Amino acid sequence: MSETQSTTGPLSALRLDERLRDTRLFFTQALRTFHATGSIVPSSPALAHAMAEHVRVRPVSEEPLRIMEVGAGTGAITRGIAAAMRPGDTVDLVEANPEFAGHIERLLETDPVLAPIAPQATVHAMLVDEMGTDRTYDVIVSGLPFANFTVDTVRDILDYYFEVLRPGGYLSFYGYLYTKEVKAVIARREDYLRQARTSWLVQDRIDRYGIRSDKVFANVPPAFVHHLRKPEKSS
Ligand SMILES: C[S@@+](CC[C@H](N)C(=O)[O-])C[C@H]1O[C@@H](n2cnc3c(N)ncnc32)[C@H](O)[C@@H]1O
């Protein structure tokens, strides 16, 4: 039996001043380092809800989940994960930008959605490739802006995810709709080609391991959420 939760409930309940505070911090950091931040505003509650699918939808009897969120930013997706977590679940929140990592630490003390999971959460203020392989996860939720990275970086990160995922574990990540089309018009040729190579690699992994993709229009910009599953047995 599966349990589902159909609304974005607690995520939409964020106060306007809290939303503005997060958006201001996100925007400031995006101006400073757009390459790593990848967007100018945090993800929407609808995208957070979609990204937390495999934390929320699981058999009632299942063991607690070990979860990793990569690129937690100002906690937009983290709130979706937190709202779906159950007692005993744990989550590692990985964030390379120290401003964002410090913000997440503070939210774990004060935020109405995040404070309840504080005892189950650990913030790692580091690059994901510094996390090491002496760990295993049931669910990985990645908010990294793959479209800004080189194909080698994305391959290393996806290989790492599949190394630390348990067999049968889930990886969820998102990409923005129409990025390739927009880049074809405005980007320099080298940047367009770099992104094309990255998206071919990502598409190859989706073709091999994808179990579902959903469009989320209620986000700026609209996004595609991809859910992949590591095979139970290595092929
Ligand atoms: C597109 S933002 C997503 C933020 C948030 N999850 C959201 O959806 O609003 C990408 C985030 O990944 C972080 N990031 C980028 N590269 C990273 C890396 N190699 N390891 C860990 N975090 C990284 C950035 O600092 C940024 O916070």
Residue 3 resides in a domain: no
Domain total for the chain? 1
Whole domain around residue 101: which residue ranges?
17-229
CA-proximal residue: ligand 1, atom 2 (nearest)? 37
Q: Of ligand 1's atoms, which has the minimum distance to the CA of residue 42?
A: 9
What is the CATH number for 45? 3.40.50.150
The whole-angstrom separation of Cα 149 and Cα 194 is 8
Residue 13: per-residue pLDDT: 66
In a domain, 7, yes or no: no
Residue 42 Cβ < 6 Å to ligand 1: yes
- Distance (Å) of CA 95 to CA 72, 85, 86, 138, 174: 6, 20, 23, 19, 16
Tens of pLDDT, residues 183-232: 667 778 888 888 889 999 999 999 999 999 999 999 999 999 999 999 99
Does any domain span residue 4?
A: no
Residue 8 lies in a domain: no
**How confident is the model over 97-104, as a mean pLDDT?**
97
Does residue 100 line the site of ligand 1, with CB under 6 A?
yes
The verdict on residue 190 lying in a domain is: yes
Give the pLDDT confidence score for residue 6 in this predicted structure: 41
Residue 12 lies in a domain: no
Specify if 1 maps to a domain. no
